[in-house]
């Protein structure tokens, strides 16, 4: 099995050009790549649980703002 340094990832830049990149080396680098998508997911979850019942909205916001895992691997 190859070590992580020999792995090559493909990433599309803003111009649509696919570039070969090395895998992220740290959590900071990983978060830099996915943080905007995580924020979009959080916003979508809040929109999806919105109801006409204010109490349920408050409960949902409280639960979602507490953090923790949102997605679990299969």
Report the range of poorest mean pLDDT among 5-9, 34-38, 59-63, 67-71: 5-9
Instruction: Return the closest-CA partner of residue 64 out of 42, 40, 33.
Output: 42
pTM of the model: 0.51
* 39-68 per-position pLDDT tens digit: 898 889 889 999 999 999 999 889 888 877
Residue 3 predicted with pLDDT over 50: no
8 within 8 A of 22, measured Cβ to Cβ: yes
Instruction: Return the closest-CA partner of residue 42 out of 17, 67, 18.
Output: 67
Q: Which two tokens stand for residue 9?
A: 């990832």
What is the rounded distance in angstroms from the CA atom of residue 31 to the CA atom of residue 37?
A: 10
Q: For the chain, what's the residue count?
A: 74
């Amino acid at each position: 099995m190859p070590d992580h340094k020999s792995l090559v990832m493909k990433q599309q830049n803003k111009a649509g050009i696919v570039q070969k990149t090395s895998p992220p080396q740290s959590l900071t680098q990983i978060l830099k790549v996915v943080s905007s998508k995580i924020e979009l997911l959080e916003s979508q979850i809040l929109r999806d649980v919105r109801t006409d019942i204010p109490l349920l909205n408050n409960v949902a916001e409280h639960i979602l703002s507490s953090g923790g895992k949102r997605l679990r691997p299969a």
